Amino acid sequence: MEHQTKLLMATTVATTLRAFLLPFARHFREQGWQVDALAQGVSTNTDCVANFDRVWEVTWSRDAFSARNFAPARQIQDLARQEGYQIVHVHTPVASFVTRFALRRLRRKMGIKVIYTAHGFHFYQGGATHRNLVFLALEKLAGRWTDYLVVLNSEDRLAAGKHRLVPENRICYMPGIGVDIAKYDPKLITQNDVEALRDELGLTPAGHILLMIAEFIPRKRHADVLRAFQLVNRPETHLALAGRGPDLATMKELAETLGIQTRVHFLGYRRDIPVLLRAADVTLLTSSQEGLPRSVMESLCLETPVIGTDIRGTRDLVGTECGLLVPVGDIEGLAKAMTWMLEHPEQAREMGRRGRERMASYDQERIVALHEKLYAHALAGEGLVLT
């Protein structure tokens, strides 16, 4: 009788599991695997409880340098011994480093294969020098405790090889964590859906929507969007900002200070993201740092062009065919890009159509299949390069 394969997925917070990893859990459970999850808040997340065999609560901080992050190390070691996982797949910086640290000796003793998916290294082109040096040193250290490293964009792929974070044949490139192309299909969004949203925002028939979907945190740089939107100065154009986060109140104050509050809509958490994306003329993402942004992938699936910052991940997705790229912090350049999109609707729509074609290679089913290959090689103890 064959032994059941046991897989543990670890992330810092349960929302990461819910947003990105449930399709993988469902797929491998359908193959007869035991798939468990480890994260803070996972035991109270109903979607995680429903989609994993077991969930393990852990207490740590999203602050990478919090001393309490190492408290769960013993808990992780005990769990690995108790459950006998063959594969431990870690995501997000805190969970990834601490879990790899906890298993640094057990992985060889127990034959555990540790896989780390880097959703964007914390060292990157354009990052502060001292910060890059610290995070590069940490990645090099943790690389010693890693069997396979998965990278999601071209810059991180080059960096992983250049800095020899793991052996070359243990670096696996995958085009993201996948997007459900069937779900984000423009044919599924009716004109009635779009009109209802436009009515909600109080748009006139000639009105336009600029949309940004992002957590209100510093690296998303919402202030740049608000300042650029003020420069555009088109009364019929509205800016919709979907998401929550600690910077929300500050951004509302800034909108009032800039005198644009009547045309800026703070939408909070939304469940109708496909409708928002389809109704928008253009999607914005002005981050200083990304891995491979899901909001851009979803936007392109729905044939909505993107204005993004010229950074890793966003650059991979948008290129020169599916939208416009501007330097981080270039408010005037961002305003000019907004204006260009509004003044060239046919070209913008063509960018969106090309975007959906490009997303075929990022389809979730393909990424799940790549994980199947990776796990098969991991269980066999073989090297692999995924392209």
Q: CATH number, domain at 221?
A: 3.40.50.2000
Average pLDDT for runs of 10 along the chain of length 387: 84 94 97 97 97 95 73 94 97 93 95 96 92 95 97 94 95 93 95 95 93 97 98 95 97 98 96 96 97 95 98 94 97 98 97 96 95 95 63
Q: Is residue 1 part of a domain?
A: no
Both 60 and 168 in one domain: the answer is yes
Q: Is residue 223 part of a domain?
A: yes
DSSP 8-state secondary structure symbol assigned to residue 269 = S
Exposure b/e, 60-80, CB count within 10 A at least 16 = b: beeeeeeeebeebbeebbebb
**pTM score over 0.85:** yes
Separation CA 40–CA 48 (nearest Å)? 12
Q: Is residue 342 part of a domain?
A: yes
| pLDDT the model gives residue 159 | 96
| pLDDT the model gives residue 140 | 97
Measured on CA atoms in the order 186, 195, 294, 16, is the torsion positive or negative?
Answer: negative
Q: Is residue 229 part of a domain?
A: yes
| pLDDT the model gives residue 382 | 75
| pLDDT the model gives residue 276 | 97
Helix (H) or strand (E) holding 358: helix 345-358
What total number of domains does the chain contain? 2
| pLDDT the model gives residue 385 | 52
Both 197 and 335 in one domain: the answer is yes
Both 282 and 375 in one domain: the answer is no
Q: Is residue 265 part of a domain?
A: yes
Task: Output the DSSP codes for 84-110.
Answer: --SEEEEESHHHHHHHHHHTTTHHHHH
At residue 52, what are phi and psi to the nearest 5 degrees? Answer: -110, 155
| pLDDT the model gives residue 13 | 93
| pLDDT the model gives residue 1 | 40
Both 258 and 174 in one domain: the answer is no
Q: Is residue 275 part of a domain?
A: yes
Q: Is residue 83 part of a domain?
A: yes
**Domain boundaries, position 247:** 186-361
